[in-house]
């Protein structure tokens, strides 16, 4: 039995708890030091720990995690950062001329695996106190593709380009104008093509320091593709991008395989990952504790395995329930005949930007998805509906002065206090009820965050708290701007499922701005499509049914979708494939009616 003991030092408060974990540890009572203290923080000796779990139950701060795994897995340990830290088993297997996608939760080891393959981290096979040299590493991976990979990497005969996860940090270490920087790294003469494909003309003469997240992302992807290398690694290349930009970035990355390059990409958008990849490696385990890399699967089979939560060839179940999608666009709620909100033609201008929305209305019990490019007025429309902005002309007619709850696009931790204190304030008397716990706290994984300070949360944790706070308010109209940002596949599908259940159960209404096609398909009853010229003019069409809205939106992007026969999830058809041409001829860009 392999025992993994992980201590989150940020959570440990040994002074306040009186070292409860030490006092209750059975081996300690038997004079065996399974828990020792170095200064104020405990260290768990895994070889002595009996895995009783008492320290886990007694720890008031949930700082300790103990997991038992099969002995056979220990032989596959690839890396560990130190005692009582995250442990990664196995590594993805790269292949020339193939795009390998990495799929898994946040904190499960995807970025660590990419850093190992890029040479930024030298794998220690779990021996953090006496790491092996390159010769031992190559011997360990003998007989596999990784043997040759690490051989070339150690000898300097392989060049690797790594596009990092956090592109917002690029401007801190690199300065200059976009055009000048990209021209310096254009070793493959691909820049002129990428300027058009990734819409870089408008930012060509701008300094990196003034670019938005989406603009930095496109620049980082372009810079990576322009450089000459053998291996290209992309960590979350679709972050901050709208749907059209995501597809263009995916096309640009896929073009590398035509030159026989090795490409690996970690991505949370299922539709983009499906479109981008030829093969999939699933990462499973316990976030922050350990991660296991599955064997390579075909892209359809790999994503379906992840959604099912079961890997047949390894006989491993890593999720109790599968994630399933509806076959047809969801029907409107039971009370959908009652109009909740109406608006006339609305117009609003900000300097050179002009926005206009057609008249429309929404009904009780429905979720209206909002689709469109970045900088087209989606957030402006939501703020006008919420009353945070005043229209230049036109107005909304609210029924009985609706109560509105709004989750903004950009979340800044301005609250001084814990997650529990924030949710108690917003939910009031509902906070202690079993319904609130089962409907909001549990699905959004709030219990483990309740004692955390808001200012210490990561982007994904802060997003889940913001969604929980928005849904905790007593309101009739919920406005959520990009609720899936920073969330992994599992968390974003849990979030949209939670939003949908709350709206249906309370018989209220929600507007959801979202760039993830799979998430919109999962949550929306109707769609509002936004068109225009980003940064110049925006136009909001009337809400329409999901099928017509998707068809209109996808036709504008010249992309077709189909349904997976097993999971019913939306899948992007490869460009100019038989099904792509057939659906375009039929005018069915979303999925064919007979499905």
For the record, the structure tokens of 303 come out as 């994503």
The predicted pLDDT at position 333 comes to 45
Q: Which helix (H) or strand (E) holds 510?
A: strand 509-513
CATH number at residue 9: 3.30.70.20
Write the CA distances from 115 to 123, 230, 458, 474, 541, integer angstroms. Answer: 10, 16, 20, 45, 44
The reply to whether 471 and 537 lie within a common domain is yes
What's the pLDDT at 590? 85
Residue 326 is assigned to a structural domain of this protein: no
365: left (phi over 0), alpha (psi -120 to 50) or beta: left
Whether residue 329 is contained in a domain is answered as no
Does 426 share its domain with 308?
A: no
The pLDDT, as a whole number, for residue 485 is 85
Q: How far is C-alpha 588 from the geometric centre of its chain's CA atoms?
A: 28
Give the phi and the psi of residue 563 in degrees, each rounded to 5: -100, 135
Pair (34, 107) in one structural domain: no
Residue 344 falls within a domain, yes or no? yes
Q: How far apart are CA 291 and CA 283, in angstroms?
A: 6
Q: Let me know if residue 407 belongs to a domain.
A: yes
Number of domains within the chain: 4
Look at the block and give the residue holding tokens 């969801």.
Answer: 330
Residues 502 and 360 in one domain: yes
Sole residue written with tokens 């999925």: 591
* 97 and 204 fall within a common domain: yes
Q: Which of 69, 98, 120 is the last residue of a domain?
A: 69
Whether residues 275 and 172 share a domain: the answer is: yes
- Give me the pLDDT at residue 342, please: 86
Domain that holds residue 569: 558-595
Q: Mark whether 478 and 449 lie in a shared domain.
A: yes
pLDDT digit string (tens) for the chain, length 595 residues:
789 999 988 788 888 888 888 888 888 877 788 988 877 788 999 989 988 888 988 888 888 999 998 888 888 999 999 999 999 999 999 999 999 999 999 999 999 999 999 999 999 999 999 999 999 999 999 999 999 999 999 999 999 999 998 887 787 788 889 999 999 999 999 999 999 999 899 899 999 888 888 899 999 999 999 999 999 999 999 988 988 899 999 999 999 999 999 999 999 999 999 999 999 999 999 999 999 999 999 999 999 999 999 999 999 999 988 888 776 544 444 444 588 888 888 999 988 889 999 999 888 889 999 988 888 899 889 888 888 888 888 766 654 578 889 998 777 777 788 999 999 999 988 998 999 999 999 999 999 889 888 988 888 899 999 999 999 999 999 999 989 888 988 899 899 999 999 998 999 999 999 988 888 888 898 999 999 888 889 999 999 988 888 898 888 888 899 888 888 888 888 888 899 999 999 888 987 654 4
Whether the CB-CB separation of 373 and 534 falls below 8 Å is answered with yes
Same domain, 552 and 564: no
pLDDT at 592: 62
State which H helix or E strand residue 380 sits in.
Answer: helix 378-386
Nearest alpha carbon to residue 237 among 223, 253, 226: 253
Q: What is the pTM of this model?
A: 0.88
Neighbours of 294 (CB within 10 A): 22
For residue 323, being part of any structural domain is answered with no
Q: Using CA atoms, how far apart are residues 109 and 111, in angstroms rounded to an integer?
A: 6
What six digits make up the tokens of 169? 């940090």
Does one domain contain both 295 and 409?
Answer: no
The pLDDT value given to residue 479:
94
Q: Are residues 346 and 282 in the same domain?
A: no
Cα(249)–Cα(232) distance, integer angstroms: 14
312 and 415 fall within a common domain: no
For residue 237, is it within any domain? yes
Question: Considering 15, 36, 69, which residue would you say is the last residue of a domain?
Answer: 69
First to last CA, the chain: 47
Rounded Cα gap, residues 483 and 515, in angstroms: 10
DSSP result, 524-573: -SEEEEEEEETTTEEEEPPPEEHHHHHHHHHHHHT--EEE-TTT--EEEP
Query: The CATH number of the domain where 454 resides is what?
Result: 3.40.50.300
Full DSSP string of 214-270: HHHHHHHHHHHHHS--SEEEEESTTTT--HHHHHHHHHHHHGGGGGT-EEEEE-S-H
346, β-bridge pairs: 357
Measured CA to CA, the distance from residue 344 to residue 261 in angstroms comes to 53
Same domain assignment for residues 551 and 415: yes
Residue spans of alpha helices (H) in 507-577: 517-523, 546-557
Residue 10 lies in a domain: yes
Neighbouring C-beta atoms of residue 32, cutoff 10 Å: 14
Give the end of a domain, one of 51, 69, 87: 69
Task: Report how far residue 483's alpha carbon sits from residue 365's, in angstroms, rounded to the nearest whole number.
Answer: 19
Q: Is residue 180 part of a domain?
A: yes
């Amino acid at each position: 039995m392999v025992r993994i003991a992980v201590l989150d030092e940020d959570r440990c408060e040994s002074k306040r708890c009186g070292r409860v974990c030490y006092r209750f540890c059975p081996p300690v009572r038997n004079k065996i030091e399974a828990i020792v203290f170095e200064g104020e923080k405990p260290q768990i000796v895994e070889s002595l720990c009996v895995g009783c779990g008492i320290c886990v139950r007694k720890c008031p701060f949930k700082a300790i995690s103990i997991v038992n795994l099969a002995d056979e897995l220990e032989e596959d340990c690839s890396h560990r950062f130190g005692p009582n830290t995250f442990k990664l088993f196995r590594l993805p297997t790269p292949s020339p001329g193939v795009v390998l996608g990495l799929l898994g939760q946040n904190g499960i080891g995807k970025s660590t695996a990419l850093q190992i393959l890029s040479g930024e981290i030298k794998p220690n096979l779990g021996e953090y106190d006496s790491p092996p040299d390159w010769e031992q590493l190559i011997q360990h991976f003998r007989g596999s593709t990784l043997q040759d990979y690490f051989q070339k990497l150690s000898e300097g005969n392989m060049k690797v380009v790594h596009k990092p996860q956090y592109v917002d940090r690029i401007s801190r270490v690199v300065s200059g104008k976009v055009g000048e920087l990209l021209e310096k790294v254009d070793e493959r003469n691909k820049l002129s093509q990428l300027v058009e494909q990734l819409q870089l003309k408008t930012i060509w003469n701008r300094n990196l320091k003034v670019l938005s997240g989406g603009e930095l992302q496109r620049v980082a992807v372009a810079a990576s593709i322009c450089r000459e290398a053998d291996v290209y690694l992309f960590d979350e290349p679709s972050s901050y991008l709208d749907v059209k930009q995501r597809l263009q970035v995916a096309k640009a990355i896929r073009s590398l395989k035509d030159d026989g390059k090795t490409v690996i990409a970690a991505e949370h958008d299922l539709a983009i990952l499906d479109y981008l990849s030829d093969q999939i490696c699933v990462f499973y385990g316990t976030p922050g504790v350990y991660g296991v890399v599955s064997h390579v699967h075909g892209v359809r089979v790999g994503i379906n395995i992840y959604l099912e939560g079961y890997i047949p060839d390894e006989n491993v179940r890593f999720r109790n329930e599968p994630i399933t999608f509806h076959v047809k666009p969801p029907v409107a709620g039971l009370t959908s005949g009652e109009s909740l909100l109406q608006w006339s033609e609305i117009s609003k201008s900000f300097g050179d930007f002009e926005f206009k929305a057609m008249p429309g209305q929404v009904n009780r019990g429905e979720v209206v998805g909002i689709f469109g490019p970045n900088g087209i007025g989606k957030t402006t429309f939501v703020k006008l509906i919420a009353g945070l902005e005043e229209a230049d002309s036109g107005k909304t007619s609210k029924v009985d002065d609706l109560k509105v709850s709004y989750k903004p696009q950009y979340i800044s931790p301005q609250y001084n206090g814990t997650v529990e204190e924030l949710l108690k304030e917003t939910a009031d008397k509902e906070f202690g009820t079993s319904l609130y716990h089962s409907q909001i706290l549990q699905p959004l994984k709030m219990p483990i965050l309740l004692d955390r300070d808001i200012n210490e949360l990561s982007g994904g944790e802060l997003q889940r708290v913001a969604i929980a706070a928005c849904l905790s308010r007593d309101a009739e109209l919920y406005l959520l701007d990009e609720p899936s940002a920073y969330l992994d596949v599992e968390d974003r599908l849990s979030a949209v499922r939670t939003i949908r259940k709350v709206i249906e159960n309370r018989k209220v209404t929600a507007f959801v701005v979202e760039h993830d096609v799979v998430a919109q398909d999962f949550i929306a009853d109707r769609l509002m499509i936004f068109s225009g010229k980003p940064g110049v003019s925006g136009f909001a069409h009337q809400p329409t049914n999901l099928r017509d809205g998707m068809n209109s939106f996808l036709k504008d992007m010249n992309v077709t979708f189909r349904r997976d026969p097993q999971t019913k999830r939306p899948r992007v058809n490869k460009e100019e494939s038989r099904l792509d041409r057939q659906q375009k001829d039929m005018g069915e860009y979303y999925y064919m009616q007979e499905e």
